[in-house]
Amino acid sequence: MKRLMSVFLLVVAACGGGDGGSSNLADGGASLDSPSGSADASAAPGLTVEWVAAPAIPGPQQLSTMVNVTSAKFHLKKLEVIGDGGALPETTQDEFDILWDSAHAPASILFVTAPPAIYSKVRLSFDKGSSNAPSIEITGTVLVSGTTEMFRVTSVQKTDVEVTGYSVRLDLGESEGMPIIVGLDALLADVNWMALPTPGGVRTLDDTSTQAMDSFLDHLEYTFSGPLE
């Protein structure tokens, strides 16, 4: 109940603007790095996907207090908001990054031509970018045997996640938000940091550690959640 209330307050605080597939990037108060020419989504009708980091990024992770994240970057091959009419071009965004660090937070996504419907989930497809950049890249520090060390997690693997917990009714000419709660503690709490190699003095988890990475990616579905999950 305590965590649900915290998430609710974060969602209320984070409602704002964004960008979309047949849409415009907008700064809804959640992004420090919105592109030029972006509009205020609160002034336009449509469907907005908002990113809410809980715990905050950068910062310590609640379920693993020995871990402090300094940056997190995910490359999305595709994001689809799915309603009772299925996945549509009007509610799809292709090829973009979501990034948190000391100077950036991800812009929300506004689908200005989303048709009236009841929207129930968001499908996220993670994959490496066109430049072969990682699909996932997380950096920070971790306490190992009483010593604070730097860590880096990277993967180029393709992973799909369905975010549920919504029942959002969008009427013609109205605006509605669909917050996605991002909790990195679900990814990082069970990592066996002691067992990871330390090239260049950095604890490193990547795709060369097959078993450890498979376990890590299994937690990705719990990292992105809807407000009612």
Closest by CA position to 112, among listed 86, 157, 68, 81: 81
Provide the residue type at 133 as one letter.
A
Q: Is pLDDT above 80 for 17?
A: no
What would the mean pLDDT of 173-197 be, rounded to a whole number? Answer: 94
pLDDT at residue 9 in the model? 39
Q: Is pLDDT above 80 for 56?
A: yes
pLDDT at residue 53 in the model? 96
What would the mean pLDDT of 16-23 be, rounded to a whole number? Answer: 38
Q: Is pLDDT above 60 for 223?
A: yes
Pairing of strands 147-155, 202-205: parallel
Strand ranges (DSSP E) for 5-113? 24-26, 46-53, 59-61, 64-83, 86-100, 108-111
pLDDT at residue 32 in the model? 38
Phi–psi pair at 208, nearest 5 degrees:
-75, -20
* Token representation of residue 225: 């959640």
**CA angle in degrees (0–180, nearest 5) for 147-103-105:** 100
Strand, coil or helix: 16: coil
Q: Is pLDDT above 50 for 31?
A: no
What would the mean pLDDT of 47-70 be, rounded to a whole number? Answer: 92
Q: Is pLDDT above 80 for 211?
A: yes
Q: Is pLDDT above 70 for 180?
A: yes
What would the mean pLDDT of 194-206 be, rounded to a whole number? Answer: 96
How many residues in the chain? 229
| Alpha-carbon span 48 to 41, nearest angstrom | 8
User: What's the distance, Cα to Cα, between the start and end of the chain in Å?
Assistant: 12
pLDDT at residue 10 in the model? 44
pLDDT at residue 133 in the model? 87
The rounded percent of the chain whose pLDDT value lies above 70 is: 81
What would the mean pLDDT of 198-223 be, rounded to a whole number? Answer: 94
* Token representation of residue 222: 């719990």
Give, as one character, the DSSP assignment of residue 180.
E
| Alpha-carbon span 130 to 95, nearest angstrom | 9
Pairing of strands 108-111, 86-100: unpaired
Q: Are 46 and 110 in contact (CB under 8 A)?
A: yes
Identify the top-confidence range among 6-15, 19-28, 40-49.
Answer: 40-49
pLDDT at residue 154 in the model? 97
**CA angle in degrees (0–180, nearest 5) for 66-222-90:** 130
What would the mean pLDDT of 176-198 be, rounded to a whole number? Answer: 93
Q: Are 15 and 102 in contact (CB under 8 A)?
A: no
What would the mean pLDDT of 105-119 be, rounded to a whole number? Answer: 97
Domain ranges for the chain: 2-225
